Each structure stands twice: as structure tokens, then as C-alpha cells.
Amino acid sequence: MNLIVVGAVVAALIALRFLKPNALAWTAATWVALYVAFRWGIEPPLPASIVNMFMGIVTIALLAFVSADSERLRSAKSNIVNFLVRKKYTVPLLIVLVALPLLVAFKIYVDMSRSPQPPVTGRTIHPPPPATISFKGKTVDLGAVENPFREIEETDPEVFAAHVENGKRVYHQNCVFCHGDHMEGDGIFAHGFDPIPANFQDATTIAMLQESYLFWRIAKGAPGLPMESTPWASAMPAWEKFLTEDEIWDVIIFLYDYTGHRPRAKEELH
Amino acid sequence: MTSGARTTERRLLILGGVSLAATLVLLVATEAFGFTPQDASQPEYRAMPVIGSRVAMWVVAQLHLMFAAFVLAVPMFALIIEIIGYVTKDKRYDDLAYEFTKLLSVSFSFTATLGALLTFMLIVLYPRLAGYMVKIFSWTFFPYVLLFFLEAIFLYSYYYGWGKFSPKVHIALGVGLNIVGTAIMFIADAWLTFMNTPNGISETGELVSMWDAVNNFIWMPINVHRIIANVAFGGSVAAAYGAYKFLGAKNDRERAHYDWMGYIGNFIAISALLPLPFAGYWLGKEIYAYSQSLGITLMGGTFSWLFIIQAVLIGNLFLAANYYLWVSMERIEGAERYRKFIKYLLASIAVCFLVWATPHSLVASVEESRAMGGSHHPVLGVLGVMSAKNTAVNILILTTYISFLLYRRGNKEATVSWARTGNIIQFSIFAAVIIFVVFLGVYGYFVEARVRIGLSVPQVLSVLFAMIAVTIIDIFLFKNAKIRGEIRWGDMPARAQYALFFIAITFAWTMGLMGYVRAGMRQHWHVYGVMADTSPDAFTPTLGFASNVISITVLIFFTFIAFVFWLAGLSGKKTVSETVEEAP
């Protein structure tokens, strides 16, 4: 969070309370203050799509605020009318009339001066898994399959630790280059990918998934992604060609062990 | 009612009845002559010219569903209002219930006709699927049609018998209408939920147990969700009718009556909207439990963006509902005292709206993604998951309830000796529940997913507790309250009526969206995991295309509804109660 910007916005909003501007000026000032907070007050910066959506909601809320009270609405409307017709506002009105198209032109100039960008689209982050997959000649039921080593986590911690260690080896031999030393999706190859590799430290990735899902993703990689929601544009290899079944389960154990997340448990049917 | 309107209604009834009878004959013939997938002579699919089979089925199914929802919901609250009128001996409630019921008869005929059209199209365009569904559910069609005829009998007796039967007999007819209507919906729900979570069949898709096929994994969650959603939707359309009549009212008496009708319709819609998200969560949980694949497709995968649109729509619904209450407070003398709270309520709604609409995975350019360290923002990312959403929706519901509470208190002043203590207790309940809900929301980030989902239950229960406890206290607090001024029914700005239109349209749009998700999550399956979709349409359309189809469907629905409103207006010659100016 950028404390200087946030502090300035809060100070401006407090000042508004004391200055007691008219309804229209208060609404406009609040809108600008919130835009500044969303655009520059949060670090790392919010994507433009989110800032636009937030400002859409803020705009609707402020319009509701102005029009929920007939007296306030009348006041806001009379402010606009006064600004447009009163002689004393002629200069500010001219400034606004000139500034508005200039601002639009400036925005267009900024947008057009940028280097070409790939189109921004909403990506589906969790592709839906199939019911079953074929793994080295056998059928794996993803709805039923469990990590075979998970059950020894409590009953035989030493053997389990050996599986974690083996998973660590597999990870550092194969996965670390993209997913990074700390599993944050920032390995040495990561900069070359769009989208960038998954960040396993994020509480909203592997922590929300069952181990069978990870098994499918690791085993089948990008070539095994479903037809829906394409293009996936994933560079993930199909690791079934390079790893054994046990190695995949071991690396899954290591991912959860290292990040401290727990795999999503299976739901009970009612 | 004018004789022209009566004739049109009867024609529509006959059309609906004939369509339904023809459907039954076709269904029986389909079964009797064995039009099953094994028939080599039968094509698997037929193409609908221009728009394609899928879009045609989609639009007709959604239109049928919207009218059915309306026809099932209106009798529920019409009956309750009628009973209130009967118990309190207040004729205004009877007038209002009748006014609601007037919208039913034409809508019922539309529902039947669209249902028949849907069935014809299924048989003609998707004969393989139709054959399979008939094979599994053939014996449910007979009680369905029987119930449908019973519903027609109950509905028309209820409507045309208004004021002609004794009140008790009339109320009994209303009860019968509701029971039969609900049973019809339960049967139809069995068919469509079976397609999502098939049960009671062998590995080759042969029927093993009819009851298990009916009572499949999401049958009851859908039943519950639909009953609540229907009431919300029906209430909103009825409120839109009140708004439509208000805007065209010729005198103050009509304005007062239709203002009151709009208020009651909106009250019903919002009351039903409050528990709806929780019924939705239950449904989602059961889908995930049935199949991780379906669950992820729904909430985290292909359709996840659709839920962001849904969040925006529902956020707007809450905002519009509160807005209507705030503007409504202007017609209550004495409610000025509470206007200063509106900005805080609005701030609460705006913040909850922002949280609810924040996506889990953000739409970002490569540079933006790199700056964030992935598709999840380190600060905003926490708002994209269940814990934050549940917390936001619970506080949104509480805020809406507080708006209603202030509205209710508008012109009242407590006279009981413990008024101050009562207010403090109410405030403490709200504060404690908000702290509890936020605490559970934050706690949810530190436990595994299954536990996190379970936390929504205490959150919901605490909010329900707050609403019930505060309401009970409020009833006693304002017993024998001093009335500071009148409620000036009809003294409402037009923009409040447009808010009611907005609510009805947004409800319809949300229904269309959710209907698409429910059917679309099967993706390339007609019956999930049992019968694959091998038609040229076996792909999931883009969100933009789906949104366009849903928007056009909503437009067609409201064109039909405008006709219903117009026709209901023709029959609206029944004199409004003389005492309506004193409506509560």
C-alpha cells in the first residue's frame, strides 16, 4: 500500500467534511479521491480492469447517494444549471469545455503511444479436470484417487519425510526453473511465459485444490488441458513422460509441505 | 373484467391446454413406439434454421422457466396476503391479493404454451436425448400432466372465484394451487437435475431406480433454491406492475394503491432475496461434492467469470432495493430523523459490493501480472475467495435489513419505558454479529477449504439470529408507539418506480445467467458422464455470446410481460378499496 497516497486521500476526504462543499462538488471530489486511491494507493498497482470495475461501482453508489434524497438531488441539479448559465462561472465553464476534450485526447495519446500489447482477456485459472485420465496404460479415476502416501503422514512420519525429500529432489530437478526457488512462480524461465507460471504460495492456488487435481495437471500438463476456455497458452510439460506415478505423488506432497498449505479434502455427498 | 379480456384469456387457456395435451400424446407416442437412441432410422439431431438448435432450445427453455417461476411464485404471496386480509378483516389486503392474481391467468397460458413448445422442440431437434429422457422418466409424465390439469382447475377457480366462494373455501383453493404448483416444479426439477448429476442408472445408462433418478444429488438443493428464487422474481415482477400502474395512474387514489402494491412486491422480492445466496451455496457445495470437475467448471473454471457478472448484478439488486427504501422514507413524516444514516448504509453496501465483485483471478496484461507476481493480487487476492464473499454478502444482508428497520420505524416513536435499553440491545446485537461474521471471514483464511466452506453456516445463522432477535425486540419496542406523522402513499418520485423496473429486469437477467450456468456446466454432455453431446453445438459458447442470448431472452420476456400487464389492466376495473389512502 502506498501510504503517502492513501494518507493524502484520507486527508482530502476529512477536509471535505469541514469545507462542506455543495452536493455536486462533494460527489465529484469523492469520486476523484477514490480513483486516486485505487489507481495509485495500492502496491503493486491494481490492473486497469479492476480499477475500472471499482470506479463503475463507486459511480453507481455516488449517483444513488445524490438521488436518494430529493433535496440533495435538487441541489445537485441546480448546481449544474447554475454552472452552465450563471455569468460568474463563464471562465470556469470555458476551462471545463476546453479541458474535457483535451483530457480525452491526452488519454488517447497515452494509449496509442504504448508499445503493442497482447490483448487482455479474462483467463480461466482452474481448468476443469476430466472424470478419468489414462496414465501409463491404466485408468485413473480423478474423483476417487487419493495420494497413496498421504495416509502415512501421521502413522509413519519417517517414511513420509522420505517421500517429502524425494519430492524436493523431483521439484528441484524439474519444476524450480519455472515455479521458482520459493514456489512463487518466478523461476529463471518465468519471465518468458505469458501467462506466468502458477504461484503455489498463493493461498488461492493449490490450497483450494484436491491432490488428484494436481496429479492430473502434473501428469498431463498443457497438452492435457480441456478443449474449453482455450487458448490456455500454457508451457507446462506432460510430466507423465518423465516421472513415475510415485514421483508425481511425492512432488505433490513436497508442494504442500513447503508452502504449508493443506490439500483440499474431498466433500461428502448428501 | 371486460368481456374482450375474458375472451382473450379463455383463448389463451384453451391454447395452453391443447398444447399440453398434444405434448402428452407426443411423449406417450415417443415411449410407445420406442423412439430410443438405438433406432437407426432416427436422426440423433435435427438442425433449427438460422439460429441453430441450441439457441432455439435455450431461449424457449428460459422463457418457459421465467413464466413458470412467476406463475408458481405469485400464488404463494397472493395467498399469504389474502390470509392476512381474512384474519385482519382488512379489505385492502384482499384487493391487493386479487390485483396480484390478475397477472396469473394469462401468464399461466404463456407458461403452458412455452412448455409445450419446449417439449416439441426437444423431441424434434434432439430426438436421441428426448428418447433417453422418456425412457428414464416416462412414469413421471403422467402425474406431471395430471397435476398440470389440477393446477389449471385450482388457478382458474381461485381467480374467477374471487369474492364468489366463502373466504375459507377460497383460501383452501389457494392452498391447493400452491401445493400442486410446487409438486409440478419438483417433478420438472427431477428431469433437469438428472441431466447434471445422474443417479439411479447402471453403467450403461439403463434405469435401475426411478426414485434414485428423481432424488439425484442436486434435486432438493435446486427445489429449495427455485422456490426462494421464484418468490423473489415473482415479487419483483409484481412490483414492476405496481410501478407501471403508478406511472400511469390518473388520480391520487390510484397512485396510493399502486405505490403500496409496488412496495409490497418489492418487500416480498427482497425478503426472498436475502436467504437466496445461502441456498445457492448449498447447491454449489453439492455440485462440488458430486464431481470436482463440475464444481471447478462452475466456480473456478470456465464459468467463473460469469459469477463475477452475477455478483455485479446482485450487488446492483441490493443497492436498488435499499435505494427504493431510502427514497420511500420521504413519504413518511418523521423519517427525516433517519436520513443521516443513509450515507453509512450506502458506504457499507458499496464496500460489500466491491468485495463481492472482486474476481479471484484478475484480468491483467503481462506487465500487470508480473507486477502482481501472478494472476492474483497480493492485497486484492484475498477478496477473491469464499471467505471474503461470504462475509460481504452477510453484511450486505444485514445492511439491507437495517435500511428496512429504519423505514419501518420512520413515523414511530417508542413510548415504552425501556426504549433506550431496547435500542442499546439491538445495536449490541448488530455489532456483535458483524464482529462475529468478520472474524469467521478472516479465520477462514487459516483453515483448509472444507472447513472454510463450513464456516458459512455459523455466519448465516448469526445473521438470521440478528434479524429475528432485533425484529422481535422492535415489535415490542414500538407497541403502542406514538405516531409522528402519516405515510403519504402515492407521494413518491418517479425515479423510485424506475428502481422497481430495474430490480425486476435485473432479477430476470440474473435468472437467465444462472440458468445458463446450470445447463452449461455439463459442457459437452447432454446427461453428464452418460450421454455425450455429439451435435455441432458441442462446445461452450463465449461469455459474450451467452450474454447476448440471455439479454435477448430477457427482452422477449418483458415484451410478453408488457402484454400481460396491458391485459391485466383491461380487467382492472375492480374498484379499489376506499380506504386505500391509509394503507400501511
Q: What is the DSSP string of B35-72?
A: --TT-TTS-S--PPTTT-HHHHHHHHHHHHHHHHHHHH
Is the CB of residue A264 less than 8 Å away from at least one CB of chain B? yes
Q: What is the mean pLDDT of chain A?
A: 90
Contacts made by residues B112-115, CB under 8 angstroms, sequence distance 24+: B112/B15, B112/B16, B112/B17, B112/B19, B112/B20, B112/B148, B112/B152, B113/B12, B113/B15, B113/B16, B113/B19, B114/B60, B114/B63, B114/B64, B114/B67, B115/B19, B115/B20, B115/B23, B115/B64, B115/B68
B385 vs A46, A204, A262: nearest CB: A204
Residue A120 covered by a domain: no
| Residue B106: per-residue pLDDT | 85
| Domain extent at residue A72 | 3-113
| Residue A114: per-residue pLDDT | 83
Average pLDDT over residues A221-234: 80
Closest residue in B to A211 (Cα) is: B292
The SS3 of residue B154 is helix
pLDDT reading at B574 higher than 60: no
Segment (H or E) for B386:
helix B386-409
| Residue A22: per-residue pLDDT | 86
Alpha helix ranges (H) inside chain A: 3-19, 23-40, 48-67, 70-85, 90-113, 152-155, 157-170, 176-179, 211-220, 245-259
- Residues in chain B with CB shorter than 8 Å from the CB of A60 are 316, 319
For residues A100 and A206, membership in a common domain is answered with no
Nearest CA distance, A91 vs chain B (angstrom): 33
A46 vs B361, B377, B449: nearest CB: B377
Is the CB of residue A29 less than 8 Å away from at least one CB of chain B? no
pLDDT reading at A252 higher than 90: yes
Q: Do A69 and B342 touch (CB under 8 A)?
A: yes
Nearest CA distance, B326 vs chain A (angstrom): 6
If you search the block for the grid coordinates 400442486, which residue do you land on? B180
Give the least confident one: A83-87, A226-230, B235-239: A226-230
pLDDT reading at B1 higher than 50: no
Band (pLDDT 50/70/90 cuts) for residue B567 is confident
Nearest CA distance, A217 vs chain B (angstrom): 13
Band (pLDDT 50/70/90 cuts) for residue A269 is low
The SS3 of residue B412 is strand
Whether omega before B143 lies within 30 degrees of 0, making that bond cis, reads: no
Q: Do B294 and A128 touch (CB under 8 A)?
A: yes
pLDDT reading at B581 higher than 50: no
Q: Residue B296's closest CA among A142, A125, A256?
A: A125
Nearest CA distance, B384 vs chain A (angstrom): 8
Give the least confident one: A223-232, B475-484, B552-561: A223-232
Closest residue in B to A119 (Cα) is: B365
Average pLDDT over residues A58-65: 95
pLDDT reading at B3 higher than 60: no
For residues A143 and A252, membership in a common domain is answered with yes
pLDDT reading at B422 higher than 90: yes
B300 vs A57, A125, A186: nearest CB: A125
Residue A124 covered by a domain: no
pLDDT reading at B565 higher than 70: yes
Nearest CA distance, A50 vs chain B (angstrom): 7
Nearest CA distance, B563 vs chain A (angstrom): 31
Distance of alpha carbon B316 from alpha carbon B513, whole angstroms: 15
Band (pLDDT 50/70/90 cuts) for residue B12 is low
pLDDT reading at B496 higher than 50: yes
Average pLDDT over residues B111-140: 94
Q: Please, which residues 76-135 of chain A have a Cβ atom closer than 8 Å to chain B?
A: 117-118, 120-131
- Mutation pick from B336, B362, B533 vs chain A, by most beta carbons of A within 10 Å, is B362
Q: What is the CA radius of gyration of chain B?
A: 25
Higher-confidence residue of B501 and B17: namely: B501
Distance of alpha carbon A67 from alpha carbon B325, whole angstroms: 12
Q: Please, which residues 423-452 of chain B have a Cβ atom closer than 8 Å to chain A?
A: 445, 448-450
Average pLDDT over residues B347-362: 90
For residues A137 and A225, membership in a common domain is answered with yes
CA atoms lying within 13 Å on the CB side of residue B334: 17
Is the CB of residue A268 less than 8 Å away from at least one CB of chain B? yes
Identity at B173, one-letter amino acid code: L
| Residue B22: per-residue pLDDT | 57
Buried b (16+ CB within 10 A) or exposed e, B306-323: bbbbbbbbbbbbbbbbbb
Percent of chain B clearing pLDDT 90 (strictly above):
63
pLDDT reading at B41 higher than 90: no
Domain end among A113, A146, A173: A113
The sign of the dihedral angle between the CA atoms of B193, B199, B204, B207 is negative
| Residue B35: per-residue pLDDT | 47
For residues A109 and A137, membership in a common domain is answered with no
Give the least confident one: A60-64, A263-267, B322-326, B487-491: A263-267
| Residue B32: per-residue pLDDT | 46
* Residue A206 CB partners (closer than 8 Å, separation 6+): A198, A200, A214, A255, A256, A259, A261, A263
| Residue A131: per-residue pLDDT | 81
pLDDT reading at B19 higher than 50: yes
| Residue A4: per-residue pLDDT | 92
* Residue B573 CB partners (closer than 8 Å, separation 6+): B1, B2
Residue A206 covered by a domain: yes
Distance of alpha carbon B190 from alpha carbon B375, whole angstroms: 39
| Chain-centre distance for alpha carbon A15 | 33
pLDDT reading at A187 higher than 80: yes
A135 pairs with which residues across the strands?
A138
| Residue B580: per-residue pLDDT | 47
Band (pLDDT 50/70/90 cuts) for residue B230 is very high
The SS3 of residue B205 is coil
| Residue B295: per-residue pLDDT | 85
CB distance B528 to B196 below 8 Å: yes
Domains of chain A: total: 2
- Mutation pick from B322, B345, B349, B368 vs chain A, by most beta carbons of A within 10 Å, is B368
Q: Do A130 and B293 touch (CB under 8 A)?
A: yes
Q: What is the CA radius of gyration of chain A?
A: 27
Domain end among A85, A113, A141: A113
A139 pairs with which residues across the strands?
A134
| Residue A130: per-residue pLDDT | 85
Give the least confident one: B103-107, B269-273, B340-344, B445-449: B445-449
For residues A236 and A145, membership in a common domain is answered with yes
Q: What is the CATH number of the domain that holds A152?
A: 1.10.760
- Residues in chain B with CB shorter than 8 Å from the CB of A191 are 370
Average pLDDT over residues B323-342: 93
Average pLDDT over residues B238-255: 93
Higher-confidence residue of B43 and B440: namely: B440
Nearest CA distance, B501 vs chain A (angstrom): 16
- Residues in chain A with CB shorter than 8 Å from the CB of B293 are 128-131, 142-143
- Phi and psi at B252, nearest 5°, equal -65, -35
Residue A125 covered by a domain: no
pLDDT reading at A125 higher than 90: no
Distance of alpha carbon B374 from alpha carbon B368, whole angstroms: 9
pLDDT reading at B349 higher than 60: yes
| Residue B570: per-residue pLDDT | 77
pLDDT digits (tens, 9 = 90+) for B136-146: 999 999 999 99
Is the CB of residue A3 less than 8 Å away from at least one CB of chain B? no
Closest residue in B to A43 (Cα) is: B379
pLDDT digits (tens, 9 = 90+) for B67-80: 999 999 999 999 99
pLDDT reading at B14 higher than 70: no
Is the CB of residue A181 less than 8 Å away from at least one CB of chain B? no
Residue A221 covered by a domain: yes
* Residue A113 CB partners (closer than 8 Å, separation 6+): none
Distance of alpha carbon B333 from alpha carbon B329, whole angstroms: 8
- Residues in chain B with CB shorter than 8 Å from the CB of A269 are 217, 286, 289-290
Segment (H or E) for A138:
strand A138-141
| Residue B540: per-residue pLDDT | 84
Is the CB of residue B377 less than 8 Å away from at least one CB of chain A? yes
Q: Do A194 and B382 touch (CB under 8 A)?
A: no
Distance of alpha carbon A13 from alpha carbon B166, whole angstroms: 63
Average pLDDT over residues B491-507: 95
Distance of alpha carbon B231 from alpha carbon B187, whole angstroms: 18
Is the CB of residue A153 less than 8 Å away from at least one CB of chain B? no
Distance of alpha carbon A249 from alpha carbon A145, whole angstroms: 11
pLDDT reading at B21 higher than 60: no
For residues A223 and A162, membership in a common domain is answered with yes
Average pLDDT over residues B383-410: 91
Angle at which helix B276-290 crosses helix B219-247, to 10 degrees, equals 150
Q: Do B289 and A270 touch (CB under 8 A)?
A: yes
CB distance B369 to B322 below 8 Å: no
Q: What is the mean pLDDT of chain B?
A: 87
B315 vs A57, A196, A266: nearest CB: A57
Band (pLDDT 50/70/90 cuts) for residue B214 is very high
pLDDT digits (tens, 9 = 90+) for B431-459: 999 999 999 999 888 877 777 777 888 99
Distances (CA, A) of B115 to A77, B71, B163, B180: 49, 13, 31, 17
* Residue B567 CB partners (closer than 8 Å, separation 6+): B5, B8, B9, B106
Residue A267 covered by a domain: no
| Residue B289: per-residue pLDDT | 86
| Residue A119: per-residue pLDDT | 73
Distance of alpha carbon B260 from alpha carbon B243, whole angstroms: 10
- What count of CB pairs under 8 Å joins A to B? 197
Nearest CA distance, B498 vs chain A (angstrom): 12
Residue A118 covered by a domain: no
Identity at B354, one-letter amino acid code: L
CB distance B262 to B246 below 8 Å: yes
CB distance A111 to A194 below 8 Å: no
Indicate whether this complex's ipTM tops 0.90: no
Is the CB of residue A144 less than 8 Å away from at least one CB of chain B? no
Band (pLDDT 50/70/90 cuts) for residue A174 is very high
Distance of alpha carbon A3 from alpha carbon B378, whole angstroms: 16
The cell for A227 is 478443449
| Residue B249: per-residue pLDDT | 93
Give the least confident one: A62-76, A147-161, B266-280: B266-280
